[in-house]
Structure 1
Amino acid sequence: MVDLSALRAANASRFASAKLTRAAAFSPVAHRLIWAQAKARYQAVSARTGVPWWFIAIVHERECSQSFRGSLAQGDPWDRKSVHVPAGRGPFNSWEDCAIDALVNCAPFAARNKDWSIGGTLTMLEQYNGLGYAAKSRPSPYLWAGTDQYVSGKYVRDGVYDPNAVDQQLGCAGMIMTMMQLDPSIRFGEQAANDNAPPKVVARTGQVMVAPHPDSAPTISHPAPGSIGAWIVSLFKHAA
């Protein structure tokens, strides 16, 4: 049994001293996750669940590479019944409805979390991937890959741990660190779940280009706010 209080303290300590080792890889992902139109969708789910928008964005990236066609719970298409764990969810009417179900009704039940300190946040994220690393007293690559807190060790398949394997995916902690540099509205603690302010304009440095995920672009069902498409959709909603 993993002591979650001890894990929260360990994750908070690691975050306080962590340094990025793959900053160039984190940057375009972080820009994508805070992109205004994607952030607005995360904020809409946050308002209905109490889960911070940036936490939702990070889970979305890790579970299905930020595809708005995929479920927040396991990446399966949200418009049909899920086949991967948690299986049997859906179909849903929208990505937002599916995301709310994942946060409210599926383990690790992020909507029930009351500790949005950095230690509590990271431990909730770690539970999405499982506590196998914590049981071995090893930093989870799901959190720490791409930082100096992680060197090697990976579950290469269910129940099989290879101490020499290196996880090439980007960890959640590095995403948080990079997103915070770009969006100063990201905060921890009591204010974390209540911060749904409009995204601030942040300076872009170097040659980083904001490349929104193609699934984040406006669609017929999710037009850009204030557009003619949004007005037409509102007419249909009122007529229904």
Structure 2
Amino acid sequence: MAVAFDSRLQEEYAALFAGLVVSPSRREEVGRLAARILLPANRARYAAVEAAAGVPWFVVALIHNLEASGSFRSHLHNGDLLTARTVRVPAGLPKAAPAQGDAYSWEESAADALAFDRLDQWTDWTVPGIAFALERYNGFGYRRRYPHVKSPYLWSFSNAYTRGKFIADGVFSPDAVSQQCGAMTLLSALVEDAPEVAARLGFTQPDAPDEVARPTPHVADDGSAVDVPGDPPRFPGKYLLPGSREKAAIRKVQERLAQMGASPGAPSGAFDTPTHFAVQLFQSRAADLEGVPLEIDGIVGPKTWGALFGPLSIDSEWVKPSFRVGKREADLASAVIEIAEGEIDVREVPPGSNRGPQVEAYLSSVGLKGGNPWCMAFVHWCFAGAAGALGVPNRVPATGHVRTSWQQTGKIASGVRVVTAQEAARDPSLVTAGMVFFLGLDGGTGHAGIVAANVNGLLSTIEGNTNDGGSREGIGVFRRVGRKVTDAKVLGYAAFG
């Protein structure tokens, strides 16, 4: 099935890039790669290819780094030497003989590679358009087979990617870690270091302040917050990040950032790209209320809010929960996701009937017959298969009713980690891959599915009895991207192990 460049996918790419933070251990390396691209001599060669093929010079540079390690002695197609046609896949390119002499020039080979993959025909060079074009260039293997792993070709060396990699054609290792900088990670460095790149992508970065941001607010002898005008605003109870709708809280953050020398521009109440950059700038210079440097993730949680507005702005309950996913939970989560992925594209027969051979197998696992809603039954069936394979109990309640399952899950004494909607709003990172999400809908109904990944509060899920729009009365098993941890209809989440 072809991967469509639809609004949902565009939003996913935009959210991932807006929330991208280069891994601390890789920042120096990413900086060196960006600096090499921006050397005048290299920049000129990329520009020559843009003139010939119509692909932005910085996109050519991203591909060059990934396919040829930035070497101008190698084909852009795959890194083979320019002294002959390519030997590895794609082999035998360019088909035409070298324009001069026995070896190809890097520029003619690069133009041929871009034409071979039809990048010279692509016209959407926005951030989502670049991400889609490059993921298609490398292949959609991760998206189709392992959607909980963001393609390292795009996101390696950033917070969007941890591990999981194809180590050979068709051979995937869940523990392998890419050692190559992802294209979008490197693009984020170019946006920061090259105003021309930022401008072409529509970004307006915050101006560097004339002086370093002021120290983190502190408490005076009488307990009042110093350096915070008036009564400080209270933390809103939700992490603020790209896509957040808490306009009043975001506006206060924008106003405070301006006061602290990291202005994102005129306060708008929208957590846009300039705001994300401004938060990162502030975080790079500030510490939390305990004097620990802030994590530079561009997200306003309790620690960043406290650093902005002082200790009186944070209630004691807003202490970030700390937990470590146990091995049993992690193993079961991985097995469940693998089983659920294998069911994607199962459809009702006929559509709209809540019937069909596989649908009725799901329903049978909770003692129901064809014709009943089956989203919760799908979840139970996936966990039953995973638990059986691992030789552990299946603790997902054997019911097809979402609200009943949620209630019964909360009563299980052990082997379950429940995250309420309120806890998830305080700390979206508590929602991890392999958890079940429970939604409460009108009329006492509900919907449930399996979390495949959580990237800064934006979920990738696998759901039964749904469709591309996320309906609870859909016609099959779909993978969806776009649900948010903080969805108002969320009852909660549960991890089983």
TM-score using structure 1 length: 0.74
Q: How does 1:6-25 map to 2 (within 5 A)?
A: 6-21=8-23, 22-25=26-29
Q: What is the alpha-carbon distance in structure 2 between the residues aligned to residue 185 and residue 152 of structure 1? A: 32
CA distance in structure 1 between the partners assigned to 2:46 and 2:179 by the alignment: 26
The equivalent residue for 2:98 is: 92
Cα distance per residue 1:104-151 (max 9 Å; x no partner): 1x12x1111111110110111112221111113231011111110111
Match in the other structure for 2:131: 122
Q: What is the deviation of 1:83?
A: 1.0
SS at match of 2:196: coil
Question: In structure 2, what residue type is equivalent to 1:172?
Answer: A
Q: Which amino acid aligns with 2:4?
A: D
The residue type paired with residue 116 of structure 1 is W
| Structure 1 letter corresponding to 2:122 | N
Contact 1:118 1:188 (8 Å CA) reproduced: no
Partner of 1:72: 76
For residues 7 and 75 of structure 1, the distance between their equivalents in structure 2, rounded to whole angstroms, comes to 30
Q: Which residue of structure 2 aligns with residue 143 of structure 1?
A: 154
Question: Which residue is 2:40 aligned to?
Answer: 36
The structure that has the greater radius of gyration is 2
In 1, the alpha carbon distance for the partners of 2:185 and 2:85 equals: 32
Deviation per CA, 1:51-82, whole angstroms, max 9, x where unpaired?
A: 00000011111101111110111111223121
Distance 2:58 2:22 in 1: 19
Q: Kindly provide the CA deviation profile for residues 198-222 of structure 1, in whole angstroms up to 9, marking residues without a partner as x.
A: xxxxxxxxxxxxxxxxxxxxxxxxx
1:24 & 1:12 partners in 2: Cα distance?
Answer: 24
Residue type at the aligned position of 1:131: F
Flag the 1:19–1:189 CA change in 2: closer, same or farther, 3 A.
Answer: closer
Count of matched residue positions in the alignment of Structure 1 and Structure 2: 188
Deviates more, 1:133-142 or 1:49-58: 133-142
CA distance in 2, matches of 1:29, 1:189: 20
Distance 2:9 2:91 in 1: 28
Match of 2:165 in 1: 154
Distance 1:50 1:164 in 2: 38
| Alpha-carbon distance between aligned partners in 2 of 1:188 and 1:14, rounded to the nearest angstrom | 19
Fraction of identical pairs, as percent: 37
| Equivalence map 1:101-116=2 (5 Å) | 101-104=112-115, 106-107=116-117, 109-116=118-125
Given the two structures, how large is their TM-score scaled by the length of structure 2?
0.37
Q: Does 1:163 align with 2:169?
A: no
Structure 1 residue 3: Cα displacement:
3.0
- Check the 8 A contact 1:153/1:166 in 2, yes or no: yes
Aligned partner of residue 161 in structure 1, secondary structure: strand
Q: Which runs of 5+ in 2 are unaligned?
A: 100-104, 203-497
Question: What letter corresponds to residue 62 of structure 1 in structure 2?
Answer: L
Cα distance, 1:188 vs structure 2? 4.3
Q: Distance in 2 between matches of 1:160 and 1:113?
A: 30
1:33-66 deviation line (CA, Å, top 9, x unaligned): 1110000011011011110000001111110111
Separation of aligned partners in 2, 1:85 and 1:188: 33
1:78/1:92 contact within 8 Å kept: no
